[in-house]
């Protein structure tokens, strides 16, 4: 899947520091240090006693890490993309934590300190993240707060359903899997919610009956992902009818645009 994003239009160091900083936060700082130590053990000491297993673990995730490092030289790597490597990184981190004597003297103290602080600092990071997600005590801009990704969806789904009832819509189109999934989860299921593009994501759900699109529908889209120019030529009638906001604590996280669509002149779904 990642090779679909592999087109290189130029190299830059812009994203590499973002990638490393994100991993320090997600793994937590001292687990990150121990994980790097485990990787170093596997690469540098693979031929010694008990080193073959460590080298094998490094080989499992080495291609993935190498690819994303290269990817970060030309485009953003989202932090969760590294997640498949985390289980192996933690095994390697444990190897480093309990084998500090295998490191050079200058590094040995860092490994020992990281072992002592990994659990308490990790628990502190987790507690802060969960508290921010639930109550948002840190006054961050909701549009930039990653924990706000989980906020406001139930209320947005209610607003979308109300807009659909007012417009006498029989279906709701979307164009991004996050919005599709969240609206589907929080809606009453009275009106089908369909992502018109990226149909590969929804093969297990089957396509809706073609007769559904003979009725009036809505297109709901994030303001910064508006694809109305691609969708509007598929209908004789297509007009913008309103805007909605997803909020937390009265502050806007993201804005959404609603279009009314009717009388398709070509297949609605990609």
Question: CB-hemisphere CA count at 13 Å for 109?
Answer: 2
Question: What letter would DSSP give residue 171?
Answer: E
- Cβ-contact 261, 173 below 8 angstroms: yes
pLDDT of residue 50: 60
Parent domain of 47: 2-135
Residues 158 and 111 in one domain: no
pLDDT of residue 246: 96
**Distance, CA of 257 to CA of 270 (rounded, Å):** 21
pLDDT along the chain (270 residues), means of 10: 71 87 94 95 69 88 93 89 95 93 92 97 95 91 89 96 96 97 92 95 91 96 96 97 94 96 96
Identify whether residues 177 and 230 lie together within a single domain.
Answer: yes
Identify the H or E element spanning 263. Answer: strand 251-264
Q: Is there a single domain that holds both residue 160 and residue 125? A: no
Task: Look at residue 45 in the predicted model and tell me its pLDDT.
Answer: 66
Kindly report the pTM of this predicted structure: 0.79
Say if residue 124 is in the same domain as residue 171: no
Provide the H-helix boundaries in the chain. 16-27, 29-44, 51-71, 86-97, 105-135, 153-166, 177-186, 228-231
- Residue 49: the pLDDT is 60
160 and 130 co-located in one domain: no
Question: Is residue 143 included in any domain, yes or no?
Answer: no
Looking at the fold, whether 128 and 11 belong to one and the same domain comes out as yes
Q: How many separate domains does the chain show?
A: 2
Query: How many Å apart are CA 195 and CA 218, to the nearest integer?
Result: 12
In a domain, 140, yes or no: no
């Amino acid at each position: 899947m990642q090779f679909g994003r592999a087109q290189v239009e130029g190299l830059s160091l812009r994203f590499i520091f973002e990638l490393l900083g994100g991993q320090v936060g997600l793994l937590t700082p001292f687990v990150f240090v121990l994980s790097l130590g485990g990787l170093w053990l596997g690469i540098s000491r693979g031929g010694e006693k008990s080193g073959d297993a460590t080298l094998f673990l490094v080989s499992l995730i080495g291609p993935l890490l190498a690819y994303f490092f290269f990817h970060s030289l030309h485009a953003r790597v989202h932090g969760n993309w590294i997640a498949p490597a985390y289980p192996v990184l933690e095994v390697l981190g444990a190897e480093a934590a309990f084998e500090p004597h295998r490191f050079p003297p200058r590094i040995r103290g860092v490994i020992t300190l990281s072992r002592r602080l990994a659990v308490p600092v990790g628990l502190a990071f987790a507690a802060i993240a969960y508290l921010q997600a639930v109550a948002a005590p840190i006054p961050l801009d909701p549009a930039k707060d990653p924990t706000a990704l989980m906020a406001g969806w139930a209320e947005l789904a209610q607003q979308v359903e109300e807009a659909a009832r007012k417009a006498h819509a029989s279906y709701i189109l979307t164009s991004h899997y996050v919005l599709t999934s969240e609206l589907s989860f929080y809606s009453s299921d009275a009106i089908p919610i369909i992502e018109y593009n990226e149909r590969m994501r929804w093969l297990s759900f089957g396509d809706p009956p073609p007769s559904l699109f003979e009725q009036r529908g809505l297109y709901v889209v994030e303001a910064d992902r508006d694809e109305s120019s691609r969708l509007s030529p598929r209908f004789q009638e297509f007009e913008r009818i309103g805007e909605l906001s997803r909020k937390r604590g009265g502050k806007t996280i993201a804005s959404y645009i609603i279009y009314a669509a009717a009388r398709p002149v070509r297949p609605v779904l990609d």
